[in-house]
């Protein structure tokens, strides 16, 4: 087996799929950045961050589904493959309904996030009222995409993600500019695309893997061993997600203290980070699928060969993206907003975004390995340490650097995750 080719075969569709996700975010940013109100960009950023945080709390569904499905694939257990999809889907639907039920309470967090920029709150609340109706579909997308990756199939998620994003951009643009819906139109376009994607993925899974579901029974929806396996993963990942989400929310909140201009500038810069993260996640997802496959097949030697190849690729990709941001970062930012004052403010902090790929790529790749092994404890430990470093760096640096301390803290947090994940990962792999 040519391991580089195997990784790239899985990674490239993931990369295409993942790059289309920030492109969608970029499109939403561009639509909001060109609305009549200068506050729309910051309002969408604030509200979408809260929505993402809420959904991320259920991110264990994606990770657990990928890991368990890949291990079942490696072991050749088709019945278990089907049960992973059904159990994950049931948890996703129940979780989505719960989010809709408590969404009025969740909207109160906007006041916390935007207490330094109250002008953003009306539009942010309007966005939120619509966006949470997509919760069941959003969580189902975690499960469905993860299941296909676990089945070593990244083509279907790529195709559906591209279709979904085209639908999202089309509907969002139409609702905003032809339906005069404002920021609600951006949210509604996302919701329509989410439900459309779920229907396509579930239909494709049933048709493409008919043999997997031939032995499926309704009782598989309530398979307690699989359910408790998800809970075991979740107990670490929910805490991890809370810490990750709290950093993102604090980043928005602290930025709002410096005014709406800073919120808008940070939003633009975060698009550069998100573009890199989704790109690197493409390789991390390949790592998840192959780690789970080799671990399920009890093939430790192939697993170690794959890991060496995976990190060699990371060592090439990260500096390359940093160079792109160095030479063309200003052009990229100018595409996202026609507000020169926002772009100029963002350029003051551009250097931090150039550093990020170098210090963070290992964190992404090791997360993929841990997911494939369905070992979520090191992921929680790495983020716990990084979380403490983030807040320490910010509160110490804020007295000297002002708003720049936010980016110092963010870079420190990512570097800490990478180094501790490397430490835990090397120790763990040696035992396999």
**Average pLDDT estimate for 404-409:** 93
Average per-residue pLDDT for the chain: 87
Of 40 and 273, the one with more pLDDT: 273
Query: Could you read off the pLDDT of 188-219 as tens digits, one per residue?
Result: 998 999 999 999 999 999 999 988 887 767 66
DSSP annotation of 415? H
Tokens of 11: 């990674």
Give the contacts of 219 (CB within 8 A, at least 6 positions apart): none
Residue 38 has pLDDT above 60, yes or no: no
Q: Where are the alpha helices (DSSP H) in 107-223?
A: 109-113, 121-131, 135-150, 155-177, 183-208, 210-213
Instruction: Report the alpha-carbon distance of residue 25 to residue 27 in Å, rounded.
Output: 5
Instruction: Report the alpha-carbon distance of residue 113 to residue 54 in Å, rounded.
Output: 14
Instruction: Report the alpha-carbon distance of residue 318 to residue 378 in Å, rounded.
Output: 23
pLDDT on residue 328: 85
Query: Could you read off the pLDDT of 314-345 as tens digits, one per residue?
Result: 999 999 999 999 998 878 888 877 778 888 88
Instruction: Report the alpha-carbon distance of residue 249 to residue 109 in Å, rounded.
Output: 10
Instruction: Report the alpha-carbon distance of residue 253 to residue 120 in Å, rounded.
Output: 12
For residue 2, what pLDDT band results from cuts at 50, 70 and 90? confident
Torsion, Cα of 246, 40, 116, 243 (10° steps): 0
Give the contacts of 208 (CB within 8 A, at least 6 positions apart): 153, 156
Residue linked to tokens 């939403």: 28
First to last CA, the chain: 20
Query: Could you read off the pLDDT of 215-270 as tens digits, one per residue?
Result: 767 666 776 777 788 888 888 988 998 898 889 878 888 887 887 788 888 888 88
Q: For residue 81, count other CB atoms closer than 10 A to its CB.
A: 24
pLDDT on residue 115: 59
Instruction: Report the alpha-carbon distance of residue 75 to residue 73 in Å, rounded.
Output: 5
All structural domains of the chain with their residue ranges: 3-429
Instruction: Report the alpha-carbon distance of residue 141 to residue 17 in Å, rounded.
Output: 13
Q: What percent of the residues of the chain are helix, what percent strand, and what percent coil, each to the nearest 5? A: 90, 0, 10
The H or E element spanning position 378 is: helix 377-401
Give the angle 284-234-80 at the CA atoms, nearest 5°.
75
For residue 186, what pLDDT band results from cuts at 50, 70 and 90? confident
**Average pLDDT estimate for 89-116:** 84
Give the angle 334-338-343 at the CA atoms, nearest 5°.
50
DSSP secondary structure, 216-238, as one string: --GGGGG-HHHHHHHHHHHHHHH
Q: For residue 90, count other CB atoms closer than 10 A to its CB.
A: 16
DSSP annotation of 314? H
With 0-12 CB in 10 A as exposed, 13-18 as middle and 19+ as buried, what is 38?
middle
> CA torsion sign, 330 to 331 to 332 to 336?
positive
Which range is least confidently modeled, 40-54, 274-288, 310-324, 389-403? 40-54
């Amino acid at each position: 087996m040519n391991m580089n080719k195997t990784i790239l075969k899985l990674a490239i569709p993931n990369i295409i799929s993942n790059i289309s996700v920030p492109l969608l975010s970029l499109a939403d940013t561009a639509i909001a950045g060109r609305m009549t109100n200068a506050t729309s960009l910051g309002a969408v950023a604030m509200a979408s961050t809260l929505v993402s945080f809420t959904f991320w709390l259920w991110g264990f569904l994606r990770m657990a589904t990928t890991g368990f499905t890949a291990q079942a694939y490696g072991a050749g257990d088709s019945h278990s493959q089907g049960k992973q999809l059904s159990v994950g889907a049931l948890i996703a639907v129940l979780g989505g309904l719960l989010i809709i039920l408590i969404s009025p309470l969740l909207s109160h967090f906007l006041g916390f996030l935007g207490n330094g920029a109250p002008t953003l709150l009306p539009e942010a609340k309007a966005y939120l009222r619509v966006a949470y109706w997509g919760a069941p579909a959003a969580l189902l997308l975690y499960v469905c995409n993860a299941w296909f990756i676990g089945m070593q199939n990244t083509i279907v998620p790529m195709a559906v993600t591209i279709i979904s994003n085209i639908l999202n951009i089309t509907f969002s643009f139409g609702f905003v500019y032809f339906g005069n819906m404002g920021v609600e139109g951006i949210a509604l376009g996302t919701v329509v695309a989410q439900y459309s994607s779920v229907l396509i993925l579930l239909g494709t899974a049933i048709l493409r893997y008919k043999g997997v579901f031939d032995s499926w029974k309704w009782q598989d929806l309530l398979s307690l061993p699989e359910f408790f396996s998800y809970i075991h993963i979740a107990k670490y990942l929910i805490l991890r997600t809370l810490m990750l989400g709290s950093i993102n929310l604090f980043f928005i909140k602290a930025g709002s203290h410096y005014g709406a201009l800073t919120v808008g500038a940070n939003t633009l810069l975060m698009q550069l980070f998100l573009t890199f993260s989704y790109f690197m996640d493409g390789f991390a997802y390949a790592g998840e699928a192959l780690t789970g496959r080799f671990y399920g097949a009890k093939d430790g030697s192939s697993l170690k060969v794959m890991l060496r190849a995976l990190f060699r690729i990371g060592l090439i990709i990260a500096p390359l993206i940093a160079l792109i941001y160095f030479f063309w970062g200003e052009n990229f930012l100018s595409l996202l907003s026609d507000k020169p004052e926002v772009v100029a403010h963002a350029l003051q902090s551009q250097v931090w975004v150039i550093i990020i790929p170098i210090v963070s790529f290992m964190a992404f790749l090791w997360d993929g390995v841990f997911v494939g092994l369905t070992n979520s404890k090191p992921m929680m430990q790495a983020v716990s340490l990084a979380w403490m470093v983030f807040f320490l760096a910010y509160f110490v640096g804020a007295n000297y650097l002002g708003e720049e301390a936010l980016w110092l803290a963010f870079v420190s947090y990512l570097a800490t995750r990478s180094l501790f994940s490397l430490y835990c990962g090397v120790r763990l792999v040696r035992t396999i």
